[in-house]
Amino acid sequence: MTQAHDFPAYRGRMEYFCLGCGATHGVDELLYTCPGCGGVLLLRDTRFDELKKTPAQAWRDIFDARAATKTNALRGVFRFYELLAPVVEPRDIVHLGEANTPIVMASEALQKEIGACFGFKNDGQNPSASFKDRGMACAFSYLRALIRKHGWDQVLTVCASTGDTSASAALYAAYCGGPITSVVILPQGKVTPQQLAQPLGNGAVVLEVPGVFDDCMKVVEHLADNYRVALLNSKNAWRILGQESYAFEVAQWRDWSVEDLCVFAPIGNAGNVTAIMAGFLKLYELGIIEGLPRIFGVQSCHADPVYRYYAVDDPKERTWKPVQVRPSVAQAAMIGNPVSFPRVKHYAERFEAIRGKEGFQVVQVREQDIIEGMLAANRRGHIACTQGGECLAGLRRALELGLVSGEETAILDATAHHLKFIGFQQMYYDNSYPEPYEIEPRKDLANAPETVIESEERDRLSAEAYIVEAAERIVKRLGLAKK
């Protein structure tokens, strides 16, 4: 059970605000879009200025001290309670070991190969093996607070997913239990077998819709608009809040000095990059960091609406156009009409106002470079997923374009664990990519198990002779020298 003695006393006053019409709405009910104009919502604490009365150094000390807390409710994303959702009570906070993921500097060989100083933040080391757990921890904590307040006896949570949202939602729903049940809606055949196994194992109702993620998202939006369900996509602004913890952790790891950092994140539905920008801006407003890092969004040329938007230099000439996606190994980011695009615009403008045009940029990468980014990282001892590989491809591209200098350090978001995406590795090794991926595997990167000894030999030889024979074949294969 939670110990409350060192739990912060501060309570905020949260409200939704609409990026479409500017209206504000109370947080006592679940809202995903503005009831007035249908616009995208964000959350803010109207008492935020109170936090400015605490000096920046005092905040740094508080968060640094809290890194060693034994209070369960403060061990995950809520280490940064005052900046996140300071309306939930400790007993409602759910913590499954998410957040506080390591930043692992790239191996010496990999840094040399790429020609930059960089590391991966391994968000695949979250409980359901992706960064989505940061947002779910916050969304479920708030949901539990609402359930307790209203005495709801039945809450059906739903989400559309490219695989990881459903894995995370199903995990947290199963843990919370009680009135909460979980339904996940997936594009049939467009999540990996590992990602599909996760909600199945957690006992969620798994519904498949032929099509791509964008189709599933429309189905789920229809449900959320017309029926009593709790939507857990990043359209849910509480998820964005939880995901801001990524930025807080990067800043804390850097001892609150981030001006020489370039932070790379893949863009799919654009919730993650939104949250990262929002998080750094919050720290900046409180003076906890004195300058902003630079943010690089990365998109595959098979799903690149945000890249296309920002590729037009003059802001007045830019027009927003969703794209039809093509198959991508960065499947978790294979989204043509990102729900959070208005949020990206909102925070990108604020970033640019403070850090200039270089503050927020989007680079576009090829499928071949994404998969080879993942393979290159993991051959050097990392655990990057294809989206982590996409970030590495993005860093390469940014170096090529002269957008990143040798004095800067890059942090790449390895958004999920390698093991969720091994099917794409296998297709590379087997040279079995369907044509639309546009990937030509290099033979020298392939790897495959080799059979040491045929199983028939086992029947032919005695038990001891079999072991000796197997060992001798290994000696031959490896060319071992006697000691």
Ligand X SMILES: *Cc1c(COP(=O)(O)O)cnc(C)c1O
Binding site for ligand X (CB under 6 A): 130, 132, 164, 234, 266-273, 332-333, 385, 387, 415-416
Which residue in this structure is represented by tokens 């191996």? Answer: 107
Shortest Cβ 34–Zn ion spacing (Å): 3
Decide: 120 and 103 in contact? Cβ < 8 Å.
Answer: yes
Q: In terms of CB distance, is 71 or 168 closer to ligand X?
A: 168
Shortest Cβ 268–ligand X spacing (Å): 3
Q: By rule CB under 5 A, what count of residues binds Zn ion?
A: 8
Token digits of residue 190: 């467009």
Which residue in this structure is represented by tokens 């602004």? Answer: 237
> Could you tell which of ligand X, Zn ion, none binds residue 270, using a CB distance below 5 to 8 A set by kind?
ligand X
Give how far Cα 349 sits from Cα of 263, 299, 304, 343, Å.
17, 19, 20, 10
Q: In terms of CB distance, is 118 or 131 closer to ligand X?
A: 131
Q: In terms of CB distance, is 40 or 147 closer to Zn ion?
A: 40
> Could you tell which of Zn ion, ligand X, none binds residue 39, using a CB distance below 5 to 8 A set by kind?
Zn ion
Token digits of residue 389: 């590989």
Interface map 15-54 toward Zn ion (x if CB under 5 A):
---x-xx-x----------x-xx-x---------------
Q: Which of these, 134, 342, 149, lies nearest to 247 by C-alpha position?
A: 134
> Could you tell which of Zn ion, ligand X, none binds residue 164, using a CB distance below 5 to 8 A set by kind?
ligand X
Interface map 72-111 toward Zn ion (x if CB under 5 A):
----------------------------------------
> Could you tell which of Zn ion, ligand X, none binds residue 36, using a CB distance below 5 to 8 A set by kind?
Zn ion
CB burial string 327-352: b at 16+ within 10 A, e below: bbbbbbbbbbbbbbbbbbbbbbebbe
**Stated length of the chain:** 483
Q: In terms of CB distance, is 161 or 368 closer to ligand X?
A: 161
Which string of DSSP letters, residue by residue, matches 48-84? HHHHTTS-HHHHHHHHHHHTT---GGGSSGGGGHHHH
Q: In terms of CB distance, is 183 or 332 closer to ligand X?
A: 332
Shortest Cβ 131–ligand X spacing (Å): 7
Rounded Cα gap, residues 118 and 115, in angstroms: 9
> Could you tell which of ligand X, Zn ion, none binds residue 20, using a CB distance below 5 to 8 A set by kind?
Zn ion
> Could you tell which of ligand X, Zn ion, none binds residue 410, using a CB distance below 5 to 8 A set by kind?
none
> Could you tell which of ligand X, Zn ion, none binds residue 333, using a CB distance below 5 to 8 A set by kind?
ligand X
Rounded Cα gap, residues 375 and 19, in angstroms: 40
Decide: 390 and 334 in contact? Cβ < 8 Å.
Answer: no
